[in-house]
Amino acid sequence: MSDPSSYLFPPVAPLQSGTLAVDELHTIYWEEVGNPQGIPVLFLHGGPGAGISPQHRRFFDPRHYRVILFDQRGAGKSQPLGETRNNTTQLLIEDIERLRALFGIEQWLVFGGSWGSTLALAYGQAHPERCLGFVLRGIFLCTALEIDWFMDGAQWFHPEIHEEFAQGVPYEERGDLLQAYYKRIMDPDPEVYWPAVRAWSRFEGRRVFLMPQPEEPACDTIDLGLGRLEAHYMANLGFFEDDQLLRDVDRIAHLPAVIVQGRYDVICPPFSAWRLHKRWPGSKVVMVPDAGHAAMETGISRELVAATEQFRRQGRFG
């Protein structure tokens, strides 16, 4: 199997980076990468709470794109880390608009995977006039069915991973793992919440790639951001009405979109990508036959770069 990084552009440093206070509690970290005169792109990371990484800059030709990346509230280098107060999808959309105004961008291509696809759809439906199009990966519509799958569907493919996760709470609470973990993750006592966020992060991380990968060393920033914010957003159904993102696709249906989906994605199964595609006649869906959920799987990286390159050349997707 080829190296997924072989399909990416070379590593690139930000043109500039900084922080933006978005309210009295939250300050978000941002980066600008590429050509200041290039096609503007908004990059939305997953999780929620996972944060951005240098690899995320590499999906875009820096000679032709102007990429804005940021750590969403409570994630990565944004402060306070793992903070769930004043943290809703609607407030994240407001943050995106603040960033757009900060950089003087009228319209941009919106790129997001997993939870990033959720936020991309929500932002686009709130501000369709600001979007040039969408590149979306690993679709998550944040429905109760998908959340139930994330928590308990794991046992159908990874029973040993699910069993280990369930054993982190008392037997009598295992009928509702989301609420059991949410209670512990939000506990103010570090001796309670640290084991919970670490278990949550490991539960997800071990299922991301199709083929088993060496486990990454524990990272407190990722564990706390991911554990806290994923539990927070899932417990609140993403702050959406039932199936809202699919219901409101008409608001962006006139815009071009490419959907890249791993055939064997057990975090965000292909059914959601297919549902979105069927409601969005102008969208193109690419099912990668030998991939799971991770953006850094070879086939997914290849198709994401192919999408940004096609948009660069044509301003649309074929």
Q: Encoding tokens for residue 233?
A: 């957003």
189 is catalytic: no
- Active-site position among 265, 272, 283, 301: 265
265 is catalytic: yes
Q: Encoding tokens for residue 176?
A: 């509702």
112 CB-side CA count, 13 A: 31
Pairing of strands 65-70, 27-34: antiparallel
Q: Encoding tokens for residue 266?
A: 């057990």
- Active-site position among 26, 56, 277, 293: 293
- Active-site position among 114, 201, 272, 283: 114
- With both helix axes pointing from N to C terminus, report the angle between 177-185 and 190-205 in degrees, rounded to the nearest 10: 130
Q: What string of DSSP letters covers 261-273?
A: EETT-SSS-HHHH
Residue type at 26? H
Helices (H), the chain: 89-102, 115-126, 144-148, 154-157, 159-166, 177-185, 190-205, 220-235, 244-247, 270-279, 298-314
Q: Closest by alpha carbon to 260, among 141, 140, 137?
A: 137
Rounded CA-CA distance 265/174 in Å is 24
Residue type at 268? C
Rounded CA-CA distance 92/41 in Å is 17
26 is catalytic: no
Pairing of strands 39-44, 108-113: parallel
Annotated catalytic sites, by residue? 114, 265, 293
